Amino acid sequence: MLNVEEQKGVKTADVVIVGGGVVGLAVARALAHARAGRIALVERGQLGMEASHAAGGMLAAQAECDRADAFLDLACASRDLYPALAEALLEETGINIELERTGTLYLSFTDEDERETSHRYEWQTAAGLAVERLTAYEARELEPFISQTLRSALRFPLDWQVENRRLVAALATSAAKLGVRLLTGTNVESLLIERGRVRGVETSRGRIDAGAVVIAGGAWASSLMTEGAGAIQIEPVRGQMLCFDARALAARHVIYSPRGYLVPRMDGRLLAGSTTERAGFDKRVTVEGAHTILTHALEIAPRVGRLSLVDAWSGLRPRVADDLPVLGASTQTRGLFYGVGHYRNGILLAPITGELIAEEMMSGTASPLMKPFTLERFHHAGVHS
Ligand code: GLY
344 CA to centre of ligand 1 in angstroms: 4
User: Between 3.30.2020.10, 3.50.50.60, 3.40.50.300, 3.30.43.10, what CATH number should domain 6-53+166-233+322-381 receive?
Assistant: 3.50.50.60
DSSP helix/strand/coil, 372: helix
Flag whether pLDDT at 263 surpasses 90. yes
Ligand 1 atom closest to Cα of 274? 5
Flag whether pLDDT at 384 surpasses 50. no
Flag whether pLDDT at 261 surpasses 80. yes
Q: Where in the chain is the domain with CATH 3.30.9.10?
A: 104-157+235-319
Looking at residue 334, what DSSP letter applies?
B
Residue type, 342: H
Peptide bond just before 274 cis, omega within 30 deg: yes
Flag whether pLDDT at 139 surpasses 80. yes
Q: What is the pLDDT of residue 111?
A: 98
Ligand 1 atom closest to Cα of 344? 4
Q: What is the pLDDT of residue 5?
A: 55
H or E segment and range at residue 312? strand 308-319
Question: In this predicted model, what pLDDT tens digit does every residue of 140-165 receive, in sequence order?
Answer: 999 999 999 999 999 999 999 999 99
| HSE-CB of 181 using CA atoms within 13 angstroms | 20
Count of CB atoms within 10 A of residue 125's CB? 13
Residue type, 48: G
Q: Where in the chain is the domain with CATH 3.50.50.60?
A: 6-53+166-233+322-381
Burial class (CB in 10 A: 0-12, 13-18, 19+), 96: middle
Flag whether pLDDT at 78 surpasses 80. yes
Task: List, in sequence order, every residue forming a beta bridge with 232; answer none if it has no partner.
Answer: none
Q: What is the pLDDT of residue 225?
A: 84
Q: What is the pLDDT of residue 7?
A: 52
Q: Tell me what the pLDDT averaged over the chain comes to.
A: 94
Nearest CA to ligand 1 atom 2: 344
In this structure, are residues 62 and 156 in contact, taking their beta carbons and an 8 Å threshold?
yes
Nearest CA to ligand 1 atom 3: 344
Rounded to the nearest 5 degrees, what angle is found at the Cα of 335, between the Cα atoms of 38 and 53?
65
Rounded to the nearest 5 degrees, what angle is found at the Cα of 360, between the Cα atoms of 46 and 158?
70
Alpha-carbon distance of 341 to 344, in angstroms, equals 9
Question: In this predicted model, what pLDDT tens digit does every residue of 19-75 receive, in sequence order?
Answer: 999 999 999 999 999 999 999 999 999 999 999 999 999 999 999 998 999 999 999
- Helix ranges restricted to H, the chain: 22-33, 51-54, 70-93, 111-126, 136-142, 164-177, 287-300, 346-363, 376-380
Q: What is the pLDDT of residue 382?
A: 54
Kindly state which CATH superfamily the domain 104-157+235-319 is placed in: D-Amino Acid Oxidase, subunit A, domain 2 (3.30.9.10)
Ligand 1 atom closest to Cα of 239? 5
